[in-house]
Amino acid sequence: MPATIGSISLYMGPHHLGGPDDLERVVIDFVDGARSTLDIAVQELESEPIAEAIIGARQRGVRVRMVLEGDYLIAHQPLDDPFTPAGRHEPNRFLFNALLRAKIDVRTDYNPAIFHQKFIVRDIAGTRAALLTGSTNFTPTGTDSNLNHLVVIDGKSVAGEYADEFAEIWSGTFGTKRERHERKPREPRVAGVKLKPIFAPDHQPEMEIMKQMLKARTRVDFAIFTFAQSSGVDDAMIALARGGIAVRGIADARQGNQAWAASRPLAAAGVEFYLASRGAGLNKLHHKLMVIDGQVLVVGSFNYTEPANLLNDENILVIGDLEETRPESIARQQALGTYALTEIDRMIGAHGRRLT
C-alpha cells in the first residue's frame, strides 16, 4: 500500500523485490482513469500491458499525445534484412508501431542528449486532473526488476506545471535545443504540503537539491542509480558530513563501481555509502530519491550527474519544506518521509554492501 496524504500518493516497488507496491499496476490504473486527455513523456515504452492501457484510452475517446526517447526505436547497427523484426529494442519498435496503428500521436525527441522524463499528465482541463511522475520507466524491468518509485498527485496545481513542460516538449524544444526563457516554477500546496517542480536543463535541478540539502539539521538519506563526481551533490554531501550531519545512501553497484563514480570519495569522507549488487532478481537500483531530515523528499527522474543537470530533459519534485511551521503539515511531510526511509532501510538490508 502506498503512503497517501490527502491527494498525494507515494509508491515504492516492485513487489518482486520486496517493495510494498506494484508499479506497473499504478501506471495502468492512472492511465485507465483518464477521461479526456493523456500527455505522456517517458524515456522508454517496452511494457505491453502499459501500452495496451494507453491504446485502450485512445479507443474510448481519450486524446493521447506521447513523446519517447528516439534511441530506443532505431537499430544502431544495420540489420541484414531490415524487413524482418529483429535486433535490440525490437519490443519498443513493436509497441511504437502499435501506437501508430491506434492513431495515437506519438513523437520522438530531437535532443542529442537523453530524453529522460518519466511523467504523465491526465485530464488537465477537467475536474480529474492529475500527475504521475517518478523514477520508473514503462518497461518490464522498470516495473518488475528495478527498484523504483512513483508519485501520483491529484489536482491541477502541480499537474499544470508538468502540462506546461509537456507543451514545450511537444513543440520541439528539447534539452539544450530550447529557445525560450522559462518562468520560475510555481510552488503550490497540496494537502497542506509545499511542492516544488523543477525541470532540467532550464532550472538546473542540481542547485535545488544542494539548496535543500544545506537546510538539513540532522541527516540526509538517498537511493540513486547514477552518482558521478561531475555532480555538485557529492561536494555538498561531503561538506554536510564534515559539519556533523549524518549522510547515508545506496547506489547501483554497476554504476557505483565506475572510476567516475562519487561512491568511494564519499565513503572516504565519512558518508555511510552502500552499493546494491545485481542478482537475486534485482536488475538495477534505479531510484532518484532523497529524504532530508526525515520529512522533505526529492523525487523524479534526475540522476546526480552533470549531463542530467545541463543536457538532458529531466524533472525533480521537492515534496515538503524544512521551514514549515504548521504542525499538521510537518506531520504529513514526516509520514511521507517515513515511508521512503523505510524502503531505503529495506534496500540497504536486503541488497546493500557498505563501502569502507
Distance, in Å, from the CA atom of 204 to the CA atom of 314, rounded to the nearest integer, reads 9
pLDDT greater than 80 at residue 66: yes
Mean pLDDT, residues 129-152: 97
Distances (CA, A) of 342 to 19, 80, 96: 10, 50, 37
Other Cβ atoms closer than 10 A to 127 = 8
Whether residue 318 contacts residue 198, with contact meaning beta carbons closer than 8 Å, is answered with yes
Question: Given the DSSP bridges, would you call strands 118-122 and 246-252 parallel, antiparallel or unpaired?
Answer: unpaired
CA quadruple 168, 171, 176, 179: dihedral sign: negative
Distance CA 288, CA 301 (A): 6
| Res. 179 pLDDT band, cuts 50 70 90 | very low
Cell numbers describing residue 56: 485502450
pLDDT at 60: 97
Grid cell, residue 9, equals 500518493
Give the phi and the psi of residue 36 in degrees, each rounded to 5: -130, -45
- Residue 10's nearest CA partner among 296, 325, 329, 305 is 296
Distance CA 208, CA 231 (A): 13
Helix (H/G/I), strand (E/B), else coil: 354: strand
289-342 pLDDT per residue, tens: 999 999 999 999 999 999 888 888 899 999 999 999 999 999 999 999 999 999
The CA distance from 55 to 103, in Å, is: 9
Question: What's the confidence (pLDDT) of residue 173?
Answer: 67
**The pTM is what?**
0.93
> In angstroms, rounded to a whole number, what is the distance separating the alpha carbons of residues 222 and 237?
11
CA 349 to chain centre: 23
Confidence at residue 318, expressed as pLDDT on a 0 to 100 scale: 98
Distance from chain centroid for Cα 329: 24
Q: 234: which 3 cell numbers?
A: 557529492
For 48-104, the DSSP string reads: HHHHHHHHHHHHTT-EEEEEE-GGGGS-SS--SSTTS--STTHHHHHHHHHHHHTT-
- pLDDT grade, residue 175 (50/70/90)? low
Sign of CA dihedral 307, 290, 72, 159: negative
In single-letter form, the type of residue at position 29 comes to: D
pLDDT at 72 over 80: no
Closest CA relative to residue 224, chosen from 198, 200, 206, 202:
206
Beta strands in 86-158 (DSSP E): 105-108, 118-122, 130-134, 146-154
Q: Which residues pair with 315 in a beta bridge?
A: 199
pLDDT the model gives residue 114: 82
- Quick check: 112 pLDDT over 50? yes
| pLDDT for 236 | 97
3-state secondary structure of 189: strand
User: Based on C-alpha coordinates, what's the Rg of the chain?
Assistant: 20
Q: Which domains does the chain have, with CATH numbers?
A: 3-354 (3.30.870.10)
* Total Cβ atoms within 10 A of residue 22: 17
Q: What CA–CA distance (Å, rounded) separates 223 from 148?
A: 9
* Mean pLDDT (the chain, rounded): 92
Distance separating alpha carbons of residues 244 and 271, to the nearest angstrom: 11
